[in-house]
């Protein structure tokens, strides 16, 4: 009798479990309703995006417009390379204004520990390091405006003087055409892209020289940032 009752209870429990599993599907079936067609159905006739773009390009190619657009993009790219955006915040030193001269400390504080190839520590993070203690700054940096003919002429004279003294020069434009200026000076020139160097040295006028003076006095070596007034 006990076995019969246990089997009955087992069947009852199994029925409850099956009912619980089937209930969500029963509910969905019962609640589902055919709402029918609520409006007119139209076939999609709009061409897909890629087909539209392809058609447009084919039309442009046949008319020659695509070739003209490609050439325009190329011209703008070349123009930007030869004449980058002028450095913001830097202008020609006004006539009659006294040129400024100051020192610049190139020291940096290391953000991480530096090791050599053998893993030996060269300098610990947080150490203040002056690059001039380890290497000479043997180049004269000259910042000029390539669109200013007076500055270009002055630069040409400075180049000749530097050659006679075996002085290394690096000419850096803050404005102007790189190719035109390079041709006029018959030497390589650079451009201060995004004004990074001018910001670093806090340059606001051209021409400006940056160099390491000889026979420095004091415990810490520094650079000199010197504006020049052209006569």
C-alpha 170, offset from chain centre = 23
Rounded distance between C-alpha atoms, residue 85 and residue 14, angstroms: 80
Q: Record the tokens describing residue 98, joined without a space.
A: 């006294």
54 band by pLDDT with thresholds 50, 70 and 90: confident
**Which range of residues forms the domain containing residue 200?**
91-227
List pLDDT tens digits, range 183-222: 999 999 999 999 999 999 999 999 999 999 987 766 789 9
Is 220 a domain residue? yes
Q: Is residue 74 part of a domain?
A: no
Q: Does residue 217 sit within a domain?
A: yes
Question: Is residue 189 included in any domain, yes or no?
Answer: yes
Torsion (CA) 218, 222, 223, 225 in degrees, nearest 10:
-80
Does 98 reside within a domain?
yes
Per the structure, how many domains does the chain have?
1
Question: What CATH number does residue 208 fall under?
Answer: 3.40.30
10 Å CB burial of residue 73 (0-12, 13-18, 19+) is: exposed
Q: pLDDT by residue (tens digit) across 96-123? A: 999 999 999 999 999 999 888 998 988 8
Name which of 211, 198, 151 is nearest 176 in CA terms: 151
Residue 221: inside a domain: yes
Predicted confidence band at 21 (pLDDT cuts at 50, 70, 90)? very low
> Could you tell me the two tokens for 13?
């429990």
Least confident of 10-24, 74-88, 132-146: 10-24
The pTM of this model reads: 0.68
- Tell me whether residue 166 is in a domain: yes
Residue 204 lies in a domain: yes
Q: How far is Cα 71 from Cα 68, in angstroms, rounded to an integer?
A: 5
């Amino acid at each position: 009798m006990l076995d019969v009752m246990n089997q009955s209870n087992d069947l009852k429990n199994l029925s409850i479990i099956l009912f619980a599993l089937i209930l969500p599907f029963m509910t969905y079936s019962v609640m589902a309703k055919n709402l029918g067609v609520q409006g007119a159905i139209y076939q999609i006739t709009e061409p897909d995006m890629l087909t539209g773009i392809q058609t447009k390009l084919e039309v442009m190619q046949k008319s020659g417009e695509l070739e003209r657009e490609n050439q325009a993009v190329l011209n703008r790219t070349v123009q930007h390379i030869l004449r980058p955006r002028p450095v913001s915040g830097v202008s020609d030193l006004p006539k009659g204004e006294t040129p400024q001269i100051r020192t610049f400390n190139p020291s940096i504080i290391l953000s991480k520990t530096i090791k050599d190839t053998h893993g030996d520590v060269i300098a610990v993070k947080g150490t203040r390091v002056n690059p001039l203690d380890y290497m000479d700054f043997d180049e004269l940096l000259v910042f000029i405006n390539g669109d200013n003919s007076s500055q270009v002429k002055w630069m040409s004279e400075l180049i000749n003087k530097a050659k006679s003294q075996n002085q290394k020069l690096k000419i850096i434009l803050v404005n102007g055409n790189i190719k035109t200026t390079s041709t006029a000076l018959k030497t390589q020139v650079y451009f201060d892209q995004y004004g990074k160097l001018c910001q670093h040295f806090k340059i606001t006028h051209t021409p400006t020289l940056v160099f390491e003076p000889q026979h420095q006095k004091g415990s810490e070596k520094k650079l000199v940032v010197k504006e020049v007034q052209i006569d």
